[in-house]
Amino acid sequence: MDQEATLVIIKPDGLKKSLTGNILTRLSEAKLKIIGAKVVEVKEDLANTHYSHLKDKPFFQELIKYIRGKLHGENRVMSLVYCGENAIGKVRRIAGATNPEEADPISIRGAYGRILTTGLYENVIHASSESSEAEREIKLWFNPDEIVYDLYPALEKQFSSQTRRVWQ
Residue ranges in contact with Mg ion by CB under 5 A: 129
Q: What is the DSSP string of 28-68?
A: HTT--EEEEEEEE---HHHHHHHTGGGTTSTTHHHHHHHHT
Binding site for ligand DAT (CB under 6 A): 54, 59, 63, 98, 119-121, 123, 126, 129
119 touches, from ligand DAT, Mg ion, none (C-beta below 5 to 8 Å by class): ligand DAT
Type of residue numbered 96: G
Pairing label, strands 121-122, 114-115: antiparallel
Which DSSP state fits 145?
A: G
* Cβ 23 vs Cβ 29: under 8 Å: no
Taking the complex as a whole, the smallest distance from the CB of residue 155 to ligand DAT amounts, in Å, to 30
Taking the complex as a whole, the smallest distance from the CB of residue 164 to ligand DAT amounts, in Å, to: 32
Q: Which does 59 bind (CB under 5 to 8 A by kind): Mg ion, ligand DAT, none?
A: ligand DAT
Q: Out of 50, 53, 72, 126, pick the active-site residue.
A: 126
Nearest to 100 by CA among 124, 118, 77: 124
Question: How far apart (Å, rounded) are the C-alpha atoms in residues 141 and 145?
Answer: 12
Please say which residue, 86 or 129, places its beta carbon nearer to Mg ion: 129
* Integer Cα distance of 130 and 12 in angstroms: 23
Smallest gap from residue 118 Cβ to ligand DAT (A): 8
For residue 97, the minimal CB distance to ligand DAT (Å) is 7
Which among Mg ion, ligand DAT, none contacts residue 120 (Cβ within 5 to 8 A by kind)?
ligand DAT
Active site residue 53: no
Catalytic residues: 126
